[in-house]
A and B are shown apart, each in its own frame.
Chain A
């Protein structure tokens, strides 16, 4: 008798056996939902640069928005389940995962962790249900990796706070009902909850993107934007607050990037088995097999890494440096897999009929946002040597 399960090319290491029933059920629910509601339209959304707003309430019904938070209508799943959901979302398109990351891990998490009871009551239930969209304004035109240099200011006046400045590359900006905005005050960096209709707050969507085309990316402009005193997030003190939010979102990317990679791998594997050249499927050629094996190695190692980090997070033992490790490794690996898949698909690889170049292009953004690969390298360099190379 053997207890060995048949080999599944898409799960060579039987990693799904390491998940709980509940984690598998959540993954399955997301996968099935996306297969029905997203997959048939992904190429069109990318081509037309259209974000599928109609999906947002359905995301809410499923429980995707703020899923790893507790209370306020949030599902309260564990971190591994959140990771698996990100993986499935990004297996469809990085734009969908980006939406959910920004809504749940950046905007909702910031309010949930640092907001006042009134701010939480006002926004979290609506954001969990998908009836309100949030965005997160930290990055500025001249301050990406170095947010400490931000120029956006919040000054006190008689009626509260006055916000001035510009935020750039803000996912969900143009469709947001509320923005969590970080600004310099006399007491250091503070967070503010800015509703869409606040006078002096406008957004401008960015066009001409070759990546994350199905995602809304915007500029947030604050011009003497008057906020009441209670718009400030009372518990957020200094830059540590927004960085802790980014760490949450990054954890989702550690998993999400592998979703994009999985789709590319599946696509390349199927193509290699079916596409004949010189009288046999190209999958029978050694060069193609090596590519496929390299992809499978990196994909499976990346999944083990993501799962390890997820278990650490669920034990409240995950350090930011370890998230940097995961993001650096898994996004880099995913991008390499997507590019390699593109070569297996030949000319078809550049077409929107196949998902690989769409994913490769999306992953270029993923490589850069939420901490560039360079910065994560330096974070780990500092962790190893105790010497900071960038501060």
Chain B
């Protein structure tokens, strides 16, 4: 079985994240980056499926040079090999363009060894759109199964059953493989890279591909053809001091009024 996990290199949420003032894209160079935490759940799901049977897991990323760190972390966690698509022309790409590059890379991987399952995180921790898995499934013409809270393969490994916890109901969704699945942060607890994993990662193969390797024209991707762009941005104002409610008999009412105003109740 062949599983590919799409992962993203994102600015570290614990650092001071910012935009590049020149073109108002997310600054991915001067802010320390990490493998998106949400993608770790997709990696964990892939590793668990691989451990329950014979499977090879590949981590695929599209991003600048530094994005190889995301691949490295995936390899340290136990993924078998990595593919890094990088090209200056990709800079500023939106979700449709990103899904195009990912789809072409997956098609190329599929040519050497058929890809049975594509796993993604539920969202990136920077863009937070959650749409790339659906776009990817559409481009590949494969079933899309999003927001999986649990994953189970059939014995013959021909179908996948997932649980999707919605606000109103919990759905059980079944899809035939090959399929594209996004995995939520409720699906599992990602493992820490073990020391053996860290040491073994150095010897695992990573391929680097350009747009030309995928047959994608530079004009199809990047900021210039993005369907949406950031017009302006501003620093979030510092947190305001909280309101202290003194209970003079109507504390409960004030509390309820506050919650209602904030639309919590």
Contacts and interface: CB of A to CB of B under 8 A. Distances in A.
B48 interface: no
A29 B196 contact: no
A62 B192 CA distance: 7
Interface string A10-53: 00000000000110011001001100000000000000000000
A252 to B, nearest CB: 15
A131 B35 CA distance: 31
A43 B192 CA distance: 24
Contact of A22 (B191, B192, B194, B202): B202
A62 B194 contact: yes
B194 A25 contact: no
Contact of A26 (B72, B191, B198): B198
A202 interface: no
Contact of A33 (B76, B192, B198): B192
Interface stretch (A75-83, A166-174, A276-284): A75-83
A108 interface: no
B192 A81 contact: no
A235 interface: no
A77 B192 contact: no
Given A22-B202, A25-B76, A32 B195 contact: no
Interface string B77-102: 00000000000000000000000000
Contacts of A26: 195, 198
A349 interface: no
Contacts of A67: 195
B contact face: mostly helix, strand, loop, or mixed = helix
Contacts of A32: 192
B199 A29 contact: no
Of the four ranges (under 10, 10 to 19, 20 to 34, 35 or more), the interface on chain B belongs to 10 to 19
Nearest to B76: A25
Contact of A75 (B72, B191, B192, B195): B195
B44 to A, nearest CB: 13
Nearest to A75: B195
B194 A77 contact: no
Contacts of A115: none
B143 interface: no
A25 B200 CA distance: 12
B193 interface: yes
Nearest to A73: B196
Contacts of B199: 22, 75-77
Nearest to B191: A61
B35 to A, nearest CB: 12
Contacts of A62: 192, 194-195
A63 interface: yes
Interface string A56-75: 00000111100100000001
A44 B191 CA distance: 25
A305 B196 CA distance: 27
A25 B194 CA distance: 10
Interface in B169-210: 191-196, 198-199, 202
A64 B192 CA distance: 12
A267 to B, nearest CB: 18
Contacts of A77: 195, 199
B196 A63 contact: yes
Contacts of A33: 192
A29 B202 contact: no
Contacts of A25: 72, 76, 193, 198
Contacts of B76: 25, 29
Contact of B194 (A21, A63, A76, A81): A63
Interface of A: 21-22, 25-26, 29, 32-33, 61-64, 67, 75-77, 81
The 4 closest A-B pairs by CB, nearest first: A63-B195, A75-B195, A25-B198, A63-B194
Interface of B: 72, 76, 191-196, 198-199, 202
30 contacts: A21-B72, A22-B198, A22-B199, A22-B202, A25-B72, A25-B76, A25-B198, A26-B195, A26-B198, A29-B76, A29-B192, A29-B193, A29-B194, A29-B195, A29-B198, A32-B192, A61-B192, A61-B194, A62-B194, A62-B195, A63-B194, A63-B196, A67-B195, A75-B194, A75-B195, A75-B196, A75-B199, A76-B199, A77-B195, A81-B195
Given A25-B193, A77-B195, 6 more contacts: A25-B198, A29-B192, A29-B194, A29-B198, A62-B195, A75-B195
